[in-house]
């Protein structure tokens, strides 16, 4: 097996373990609440703590990889993840569980950007669409199987095994990483740690994430806005410091790269918004239309199948068509899917729901897989670690922002209009938002990119 394939396998396995762990715990909330005597608000932090740890440690990943080597950081992250998984499964209180989940997130936060950098730097730009498709397929498979797998584990064993079940795959990833990953050649130059940047950047991310989390709660508007404003002020200070620093924690000038910048914006506007739409849709279909959980959960089947088709198509045809037509088509398809969803007014319109989720799955995944494929096309290997860290921070923030925006929008609409109308207008506005990135994509130099990709093949 070629070395680059081994690296890709190790990274994809670690990525899969991380995603499974992110989604599988949700279905165990009732059992965890009963077992540990936790309230609903405390249970939400079982997931929030993981996302928080994941996001806060990402800025440090590029510096650590340079300091001690990417393969060592990868092994360290898996080790942290394994210890924290054992702790989470054995937690005796909700506070302990939240703490272990925070540490789990830190392990995963190092794992994803470092593994992505190790894999991407071994593939030439025109070969990265295939690798991106594999990454997106893993990203599709994990959330698709996690709820069913978690439910089976909770029903047959206990909620603790939702965490313990991660151990075999994590151990396998650790073993393969130890056997397959080569040590990078050492360099004499070592970038000093930007301590001020680390402190201000992590503080900004912490306040922004906490603010977005509070905004998504019905009674958290004021405190959420205060924390979000504080986070933005800290972020402004971090940006000012980083642009003046000779060796910043993250090279923010990479955002000037038009392909990376557009790909990051696409993630905010398409996958991020879908996460929010999906949450609102689940509440609407069960609370307003009276659909049962089984029927609502089954809507992810057409979404997953359509997503698989879109990701496969992108992997095979990206070099032929280039990013612009794929992104524009994906934006329009997701917008139309949300619009179809807005027309559902009763549980008897189940076929229309299947169509809506299939359209959103195809459109959203066409955008996200294309964005993943083009994000690093014009980033040189020396900057891949920095670009990967920026990309993954943006990805995490997009999910939090999508949930916060749609929840806040729905709350405000319900305060000013009848309930049914509020739900529909929430979907209308979410559908209209898909047009914004579609217009921005018109500026992508598509022909030049296709020529570049074809030239690299020859």
Which tens digits make up the pLDDT trace of 14-45? 889 888 887 777 677 778 888 999 876 677 77
Whether residues 340 and 433 share a domain: the answer is yes
Which tens digits make up the pLDDT trace of 354-372? 999 999 999 999 999 999 8
Whether residues 45 and 118 share a domain: the answer is yes
Instruction: Judge whether 104 lies within some domain.
Output: yes
Instruction: Give the CA diameter of the chain.
Output: 68
Whether residues 66 and 8 share a domain: the answer is yes
Residue carrying the six token digits 């169509």: 355
For the cut 60, the answer to whether the pLDDT of residue 236 exceeds it is yes
Answer with the residue of higher pLDDT: 412 or 441. Answer: 441
Across residues 163-172, what is the average pLDDT? 92
Across residues 404-426, what is the average pLDDT? 86
**pLDDT confidence of residue 102:** 92
**pLDDT confidence of residue 88:** 94
Whether residues 164 and 217 share a domain: the answer is no
Query: Is residue 186 left, alpha or beta, with left meaning phi > 0 and alpha meaning psi from -120 to 50?
Result: beta
Final residue before a domain boundary, out of 183, 202, 229: 183
Whether residues 331 and 441 share a domain: the answer is yes
How many residues are listed for the chain in this entry?
A: 458
Answer with the residue of higher pLDDT: 454 or 391. Answer: 391
**pLDDT confidence of residue 395:** 84
Final residue before a domain boundary, out of 224, 248, 272: 248
Across residues 434-453, what is the average pLDDT? 89
For the cut 90, the answer to whether the pLDDT of residue 68 exceeds it is no
When pLDDT is cut at 50, 70 and 90, the band that residue 457 belongs to is low
**pLDDT confidence of residue 26:** 67
Across residues 286-298, what is the average pLDDT? 76
Across residues 292-317, what is the average pLDDT? 83
Distances (CA, A) of 330 to 19, 131, 271, 313, 360: 24, 20, 11, 12, 9
**Cβ proximity of 269 and 79 under 8 Å:** no
Instruction: Judge whether 106 lies within some domain.
Output: yes
**pLDDT confidence of residue 223:** 87
Instruction: Judge whether 345 lies within some domain.
Output: yes
Whether residues 376 and 351 share a domain: the answer is yes
Share of the chain above pLDDT 90, in %: 33
**Cβ proximity of 365 and 136 under 8 Å:** yes
How many domains does the chain fold into? 3
E strand spans, 138-200:
none
Across residues 54-77, what is the average pLDDT? 86
Whether residues 308 and 237 share a domain: the answer is no
Whether residues 236 and 256 share a domain: the answer is no
Instruction: Judge whether 41 lies within some domain.
Output: yes
From CA 222, how far away is CA 211, in angstroms rounded?
9
Report pTM: 0.79
- CATH number of residue 101's parent domain: 1.20.1250.20
**pLDDT confidence of residue 40:** 62
Domain ranges, residue 218? 194-248
Whether residues 163 and 98 share a domain: the answer is yes
For the chain, the average pLDDT equals 86
Instruction: Judge whether 188 lies within some domain.
Output: no
Across residues 103-131, what is the average pLDDT? 86
Residue carrying the six token digits 């918004």: 273
Q: By three-state DSSP, how is residue 91 classified?
A: coil
Whether residues 285 and 363 share a domain: the answer is yes
Answer with the residue of higher pLDDT: 183 or 312. Answer: 312
**pLDDT confidence of residue 393:** 86
**pLDDT confidence of residue 65:** 85
C-alpha 402, offset from chain centre: 11
From CA 213, how far away is CA 47, in angstroms rounded?
11
When pLDDT is cut at 50, 70 and 90, the band that residue 334 belongs to is very high
**pLDDT confidence of residue 294:** 66
Instruction: Judge whether 141 lies within some domain.
Output: yes
**pLDDT confidence of residue 301:** 82
Which tens digits make up the pLDDT trace of 243-268? 888 888 888 889 888 889 999 999 88
Instruction: Judge whether 189 lies within some domain.
Output: no
Answer with the residue of higher pLDDT: 152 or 329. Answer: 329
Answer with the residue of higher pLDDT: 234 or 218. Answer: 234
Which tens digits make up the pLDDT trace of 188-224? 556 788 888 888 888 888 888 788 777 766 677 788 8
Select the highest-mean-pLDDT range: 87-96, 127-136, 181-190: 87-96
**pLDDT confidence of residue 360:** 95
**Cβ proximity of 319 and 457 under 8 Å:** yes
Across residues 399-407, what is the average pLDDT? 81
Instruction: Judge whether 143 lies within some domain.
Output: yes
Contacts of 180 (CB under 8 A, 6+ apart): 3, 6, 7, 9, 10
When pLDDT is cut at 50, 70 and 90, the band that residue 147 belongs to is low
Find the range with the poorest average confidence among 23-27, 123-127, 190-194, 317-321. Answer: 23-27
Whether residues 278 and 138 share a domain: the answer is no
Final residue before a domain boundary, out of 164, 183, 202: 183
C-alpha 369, offset from chain centre: 12
From CA 23, how far away is CA 6, in angstroms rounded?
26
For the cut 60, the answer to whether the pLDDT of residue 225 exceeds it is yes
Whether residues 263 and 201 share a domain: the answer is no
């Amino acid at each position: 097996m070629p070395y680059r394939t081994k690296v890709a396998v190790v990274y994809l396995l670690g990525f899969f373990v991380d995603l499974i762990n992110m989604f599988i715990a949700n279905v165990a909330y009732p059992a965890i609440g009963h077992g540990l005597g936790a309230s609903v608000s405390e249970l939400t932090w079982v997931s929030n703590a993981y996302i928080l740890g994941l996001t806060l440690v990402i800025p440090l990943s590029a510096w650590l990889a340079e300091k001690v080597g990417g393969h060592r950081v990868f092994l360290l992250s898996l080790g942290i993840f394994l210890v924290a998984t054992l702790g989470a499964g054995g937690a005796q209180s909700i506070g302990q569980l939240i703490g272990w989940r925070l540490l789990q997130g830190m392990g995963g936060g190092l794992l994803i950007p470092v593994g992505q950098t190790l894999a991407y730097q071994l593939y030439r730009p025109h070969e990265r669409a295939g690798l991106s498709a594999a990454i997106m397929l893993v990203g599709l498979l994990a959330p698709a199987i996690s709820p069913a797998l978690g439910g089976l584990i909770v029903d047959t064993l206990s909620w603790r095994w939702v965490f313990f079940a991660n151990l075999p795959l994590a151990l396998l990833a650790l073993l393969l990483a130890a056997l397959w990953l080569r040590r990078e050649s050492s360099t004499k130059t070592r970038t000093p740690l930007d301590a001020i940047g680390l402190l201000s950047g992590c503080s900004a991310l912490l306040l922004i994430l906490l603010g977005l989390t509070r905004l998504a709660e019905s009674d958290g508007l004021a405190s959420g806005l205060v924390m979000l404003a504080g986070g933005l002020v800290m972020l402004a200070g971090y940006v000012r410091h980083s642009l003046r620093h000779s060796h910043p924690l993250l090279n923010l000038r990479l955002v000037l790269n038009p392909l990376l910048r557009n790909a990051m914006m696409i993630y905010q506007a398409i996958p991020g918004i879908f996460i929010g739409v999906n949450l609102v849709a689940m509440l609407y279909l069960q609370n307003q239309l009276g659909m049962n959980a089984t029927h609502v959960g089954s809507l992810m089947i057409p979404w997953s199948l359509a997503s698989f088709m879109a990701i496969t198509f992108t992997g095979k045809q990206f070099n032929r068509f280039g990013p612009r037509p794929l992104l524009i088509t994906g934006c329009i398809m997701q917008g139309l899917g949300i619009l179809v969803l807005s027309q559902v007014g009763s549980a008897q319109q189940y076929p229309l729901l299947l169509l809506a989720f299939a359209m959103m799955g195809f459109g959203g995944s066409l955008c996200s897989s294309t964005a993943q494929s083009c994000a690093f096309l014009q980033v040189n290997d020396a900057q891949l670690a920095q670009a990967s860290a920026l990309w993954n921070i943006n990805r995490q923030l997009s999910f939090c922002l999508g949930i916060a925006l749609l929840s806040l929008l729905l709350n405000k609409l319900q305060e000013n209009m009848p309930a049914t109308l509020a739900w529909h207008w929430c979907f209308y506005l979410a559908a209209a938002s898909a047009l914004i990135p579609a217009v921005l994509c018109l500026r992508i130099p598509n022909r030049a990119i296709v020529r570049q990709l074809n030239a690299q093949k020859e």
